[in-house]
Amino acid sequence: MSTVLSASPSTSQASGVEAELNYLAPGDARPVNYTFEPPAGTPWNSGTSDPRRVRIHNARPLAEAGEISLHRNGFQLVSHRSALKDFSDDSLIRLVYRPEAEALLRDITGAEKVVIFDHTLRDSANGSRANASLREPVRRVHNDQTFVSGPRRVRDHLDAEEAERRLQHRFAIVNLWRPLGVVEQFPLALCDARSIAADDLVPTDLVYRDKTGETYSFLANPQHRWYYFPRLRPDEVLLLKIYDSLEDGTARLTAHTAFEDPDSPSNAAARRSIELRALLFWAPDHDTR
């Protein structure tokens, strides 16, 4: 059999790629980002972007060697096939996909209780920031919550008595990110939590129609070690640590962003994905070490 015509992985893909990531430029004003069309004269994002060319390492060899974990690095690859094949029906996402994801998160983390509080579909061809039901990839280095807004989520999604009780013990927020086709463009870059410094984090307002949340934007730091999983498949999901109440060296968050992949074929399929955000609560006696 001739192998001349078959595509072989490029050497850049084997070791990683170089690409531009949009950090936040240092500034005095608190950045404000909108989740919907802002009033006339107000920008979608008030901060100034600071694009930096960085090396983004192929995480697959490390993941295969068992050297990447959610609690050490802030992200993890998990093999998991969904029973749902068509993600166009929101009621089926709620009926089939959410319970399946909840069980998966419990199995992987040993959490006693998992509360999924939202999900987001993205499509690089048809999604937009202005369309709440079909968004576009996010091309800003960010983390979805802060050390202040993480605990707020517990009070938002549990009744008052349970929230106070659960806040006494370990809890976390984790995103579960799944591509809906092989990722050929705009993959997600993930930053090793151990390479992030406290000074890199910039609390940023995220304005919804009914409330204002708080996320982190990131200042550039040459220490950041970036990874991605080339050609992620729908039977592979990424877990992203967004918040962790532990302060013992466990990964508490991970900076992440979509990026323009220099290995993307010119006829690359649109990037389609679904992510959901979940609160994870561990039992009081759970050994978290």
User: Which residues lie near ligand OGA (CB under 6 A)?
Assistant: 122, 137-138, 144, 175, 177, 188, 256, 258, 273, 275
Instruction: Give the range of 20-28, 138-146, 219-227, 280-288 binding Fe ion by CB under 5 A.
Output: 138-146
Residue number with the shortest CB distance to Fe ion?
144
Task: Identify which of residues 166 and 201 has a Cβ nearer to Fe ion in the complex.
Answer: 201
Instruction: Give the range of 2-10, 14-22, 94-102, 136-144 binding Fe ion by CB under 5 A.
Output: 136-144
The C-alpha atoms of residue 123 and residue 131 are separated, in whole angstroms, by 11
Task: Identify which of residues 87 and 177 has a Cβ nearer to ligand OGA in the complex.
Answer: 177
Q: Indicate which of ligand OGA, Fe ion, none lies near residue 122 (CB less than 5 to 8 Å, by partner kind).
A: ligand OGA
CB of 61 to ligand OGA, least distance (A): 23
Answer for which of 102, 144, 184, 261 binds Fe ion (CB under 5 A) is 144
Task: Identify which of residues 122 and 170 has a Cβ nearer to ligand OGA in the complex.
Answer: 122
Query: Containing H/E element for 62?
Result: helix 60-64
CA 227, 230, 235: angle at the middle one, nearest 5? 110
CB of 244 to ligand OGA, least distance (A): 15
Task: Identify which of residues 123 and 263 has a Cβ nearer to ligand OGA in the complex.
Answer: 123
Residue number with the shortest CB distance to ligand OGA?
137
Query: Containing H/E element for 117?
Result: strand 113-123
Residue with tokens 């970036």: 226
CB of 13 to Fe ion, least distance (A): 24
Query: Containing H/E element for 70?
Result: helix 70-73
What is each CA distance from 279 to 75, 90, 194, 214, in whole angstroms? 16, 21, 22, 16
DSSP code for 94: I
DSSP code for 139: -
Burial (CB count <10 Å: 0-12, 13-18, 19+), residue 113: middle
CB of 122 to Fe ion, least distance (A): 10
Q: What share of the chain is helix, strand, coil (3-state, %, to 5)?
A: 20, 35, 50
Task: Note whether 192 binds Fe ion by CB under 5 A.
Answer: no
- CB count, 10 Å around CB of 210? 5
CB of 137 to ligand OGA, least distance (A): 3
Site for Fe ion, rule CB under 5 A: 144
